[in-house]
Structure 1
Amino acid sequence: MSLSLLLNGQFAYFQSVGFNVEVGSAAGPEIEHIIQKENVLHHQFPFSREISPLSDLKALFLMIRFLRNNSFDIVHTHTPKAGLIGMMAAWFCNVPVRMHTVAGLPLMEAKGFKRRVLILVERITYRCATKVYPNSFAQREYIRKNIFSNREKLKVIGNGSSNGINCDYFQSSSALIEKAKQIRSELKIPFDKHVAIFVGRVTGDKGINELVNAFKTFQDLHLILVGPLESELSPLETSVLKEIEGNPKIHLVGFQSDVRPYILASSFLVFPSYREGFPNAPMQAGAMGIPCIVSDINGCNEIIINEANGLLIPPKNVEAIRIAILRLVEEPTLRDALKQKARGMIVERYDQKFLWEALHIEYQDQIRRYVH
């Protein structure tokens, strides 16, 4: 899913500018789509998101064997587990350019022994890499202060983000507006009612418990939850699950390959996550011209400027979510002002083609430095 959604289009771009790109990930239904859309070879490895030493050792062995049987100038990893295994294997096999992008840090919410283990994992990953790329400036500072202080090794590409956003794709059109109207009809949402939307994993650490508890206080508001309900890593509270299942104004629509009409069917995005690297959902909503309410955390507070293209709220705060929603519902002047600036502020800073060009320059610089 990370290859398909979070890095969508990047591999095809680098093929087009002369790179031979191959990709690797765990198994998943998205693989055939990636191969066809990006025109790349895909290699399957037994990566898992959980801490599982035996499985991880097996994945490391297979990765080392794979790299020894091939000749790559660059290994570029994303996600914590693939980063650890990929960077260790690339270091062991003397791959000259070893790049790791930090998109999110689970350790931010971890405590005790688990936090110490996750910090150790990050440090090993960064030491094995030749360059590390936090995907936001705030995350770079967090890493410097809490994990790894080598300033020369840390760099943010462009204005942040792992992949930017395709601003030509994420924009309103008459066809998408018609699909949005159809979605409202299918979900039985009256056209004169406000709709809040969340896009992402429907989990506790995304702030869904707080969002649902704040939502319950509104009579005429509808809520669309777009994304998979994942219970293994950060499950929702039992009462919140019951509210989602029993409240006719909460619409859990699951994963959607095209979120654009759902965004356009909404009045504003609410994204109350506890931790992020550089989230896609606020960029997508902004590019579609929809104002956002987001947590005042890494990444979110770079995409959203308070009272300019959205509202910033403290994380884990039901009342703050409620007040922010109330403002957008009851203050049309504010809502319209945020909406007018939403798309322009995303296009100006995060258009995908500019980030790809910046990453291309970085690849060339790393090759000149390390490949002999």
Structure 2
Amino acid sequence: MYVVSTLERTGPTRQLLYLSTKMQELGHRVWVLTLSPEPKDSLKAIFLDQGVEVLSLNVGRLKSLFVGRARLRKLVADKAVEVVHTQGIRADGLVSGLDPAISRVATLRNYPFEDYPPLYGKLKGWLMAWFHLRALTDVGRVAVVSGSIARSLETNGKLQVEVVHNSVDSQLFCAPSSEERVQSRANLALHPDAFVVVIVGDLIRRKRVPELLLALGRLKARLDVLVVGDGPELDSCKAAVGISSTVRFLGKCEDVRPALWASDVFISNSASEGMPNAVMEAIATGLPCILSDISAHCELVTVANASLPEVTFFSLDKPKQGSVDQLKEGFDAVNDYWLRTGQRRSCDAFSVDAMAEKYCSLYRQGKRS
């Protein structure tokens, strides 16, 4: 049984979809349990289409503190569940009341003391991070999605964890045909010869999109920029580009593939990441990437260990001209890549099978002693 707050359309929910459907393919009985009512932008229908049974406690955050643990315990007993796999602070906080004979596994996709304070405020964020790490001590096995998170937890959280990298559905995220690329550009009203940059992700402080847009403007290059995503930094992003007609904000997209297929390069300026789904999906479609030089981005390239498209790194923490020069070098490398190859090639480096195999191993180890 997989336990999460909701099935909101996010990267972690997409990873859960890959994992739960693969477990069903392997012959396991699978349930997905949500704690709260679904938001408007939910992937629940896709889970159901894949034959995954979705249950819900249908309680809010406050009520779940009082009744969530008892209801989860009853549901697990009624369904004769053998493995409970949680994801997220609320779900991870409910497992302490379960029978120790049940295998318990949790997946942590960020380092809470790094992620929560910018999102929720310094004091509240710190308290949430402390609570989350404390809750994880009641879990049999804890998986994290990158080595950088593992090192932070082992050093500062005193937690022993296993690294299980995210995956990509290579049948969905693959290089476009010539027809798909042409059609994607036409649908987005892009000139066939335009050089298109795509930025994908929530517009939050950690992603540093306003700074990236300012830096792209300083390049004085002829670029069409697509920004796929929404969030509290949207106004700051718009202010960074002023009246530029070459930057288009597409909002959240149900299907990001047309934007990837229409583009020539993917750029991320994140200050920190777990194991970034958006970057992995871009690489899977054969799209060259220019990435901030954070440890998660560097690890992702190492993990791929395959024939990658061009991937270069930059830092906007450098003085202004140095940052612009690094970005220019990245664009030069991408242009050279296109001159050498002339076409996109799919990159099947992030296997769903490998992720599922590692989780199966953790399920066998997840009983708390």
Whether these two folds match at TM > 0.5 is yes
Alignment partner, residue 136 of structure 1: 146
Higher RCO (CA 8 Å, separation ≥ 6 residues): 2
Q: Relative to 1, partners in 2 of residues 1:17 and 1:183: Cα closer, same or farther, differing over 3 Å?
A: closer
Say yes or no: does 1:277 pair with 2:274: yes
CA deviation digits over 1:154-190, x for unaligned, max 9?
1113xx22xx12223322242xx43332332343332
Per the alignment, in what secondary structure is the counterpart of residue 32 of structure 2?
strand
Task: Compute the displacement of 1:269 (Å).
Answer: 0.7
- Code of the residue aligned with 1:67 in structure 2: it is V
Task: Compute the displacement of 1:300 (Å).
Answer: 1.7
Per the alignment, in what secondary structure is the counterpart of residue 175 of structure 2?
coil
Alignment partner, residue 83 of structure 2: 74
Alignment partner, residue 23 of structure 2: 14
Say yes or no: does 1:181 pair with 2:182: yes
- Code of the residue aligned with 2:193 in structure 1: it is D
Q: Relative to 1, partners in 2 of residues 1:200 and 1:57: Cα closer, same or farther, differing over 3 Å?
A: farther
- Within the candidate set 156, 160, 168, 2:163 is matched to 156
CA deviation digits over 1:101-159, x for unaligned, max 9?
11123421427423431331222222110000111111100111122x243xx1113xx
- Within the candidate set 22, 28, 44, 1:31 is matched to 44
Determine if contact 1:64/1:92 at 8 Å carries over to the other structure: yes
Alignment partner, residue 311 of structure 2: 310
Query: For structure 1, which segment, 307-316 or 185-194, has the greater mean C-alpha deviation from structure 2 after superposition?
Result: 307-316
- Distance (Å, rounded) in 1 between the aligned partners of 2:340 and 2:82: 45
Q: Relative to 1, partners in 2 of residues 1:14 and 1:334: Cα closer, same or farther, differing over 3 Å?
A: same
Alignment partner, residue 44 of structure 1: 56
Task: Compute the displacement of 1:53 (Å).
Answer: 5.0
Alignment partner, residue 222 of structure 2: 220
**What does residue range 68-147 of structure 1 map to in structure 2 within 5 Å?**
68-85=77-94, 87-88=95-96, 91-94=97-100, 96-109=102-115, 110=117, 112-147=122-157
Determine if contact 2:226/2:249 at 8 Å carries over to the other structure: yes
Q: Relative to 1, partners in 2 of residues 1:47 and 1:309: Cα closer, same or farther, differing over 3 Å?
A: farther
- Within the candidate set 287, 311, 324, 1:290 is matched to 287
- Within the candidate set 246, 250, 254, 1:249 is matched to 246
Q: Relative to 1, partners in 2 of residues 1:75 and 1:112: Cα closer, same or farther, differing over 3 Å?
A: same
Q: Tell me how large the CA RMSD over aligned residues is.
A: 3.3
Task: Compute the displacement of 1:294 (Å).
Answer: 1.8
- Distance (Å, rounded) in 2 between the aligned partners of 1:186 and 1:289: 20
| Structure 1: gaps spanning 5 or more residues | none
Query: For structure 1, which segment, 165-174 or 286-295, has the greater mean C-alpha deviation from structure 2 after superposition?
Result: 165-174
Task: Compute the displacement of 1:14 (Å).
Answer: 0.9
- Within the candidate set 171, 174, 181, 1:171 is matched to 174
Task: Compute the displacement of 1:295 (Å).
Answer: 2.4
Determine if contact 1:79/1:104 at 8 Å carries over to the other structure: no
Determine if contact 1:214/1:318 at 8 Å carries over to the other structure: no
- Distance (Å, rounded) in 2 between the aligned partners of 1:74 and 1:106: 25
Determine if contact 2:315/2:326 at 8 Å carries over to the other structure: no
Determine if contact 1:202/1:208 at 8 Å carries over to the other structure: yes
- Distance (Å, rounded) in 2 between the aligned partners of 1:122 and 1:184: 44
Per the alignment, in what secondary structure is the counterpart of residue 191 of structure 1?
coil
Aligned length: 345
CA deviation digits over 1:290-333, x for unaligned, max 9?
1112223342221136x984122336669466434322434456
Task: Compute the displacement of 1:100 (Å).
Answer: 0.5
Alignment partner, residue 207 of structure 2: 206
Alignment partner, residue 351 of structure 1: 351
- Code of the residue aligned with 1:101 in structure 2: it is T
Q: Relative to 1, partners in 2 of residues 1:284 and 1:337: Cα closer, same or farther, differing over 3 Å?
A: farther
Alignment partner, residue 305 of structure 2: none
| Structure 2: gaps spanning 5 or more residues | 1-8, 303-307
- Distance (Å, rounded) in 2 between the aligned partners of 1:275 and 1:312: 14
- Distance (Å, rounded) in 2 between the aligned partners of 1:301 and 1:315: 16
- Distance (Å, rounded) in 1 between the aligned partners of 2:54 and 2:338: 45
Per the alignment, in what secondary structure is the counterpart of residue 162 of structure 2?
coil
Determine if contact 1:297/1:315 at 8 Å carries over to the other structure: no
TM-score, normalization by structure 1: 0.80
**What does residue range 232-271 of structure 1 map to in structure 2 within 5 Å?**
235-236=233-234, 238-243=235-240, 246-271=243-268
Percent identity over the alignment is: 19
Q: Relative to 1, partners in 2 of residues 1:331 and 1:156: Cα closer, same or farther, differing over 3 Å?
A: closer
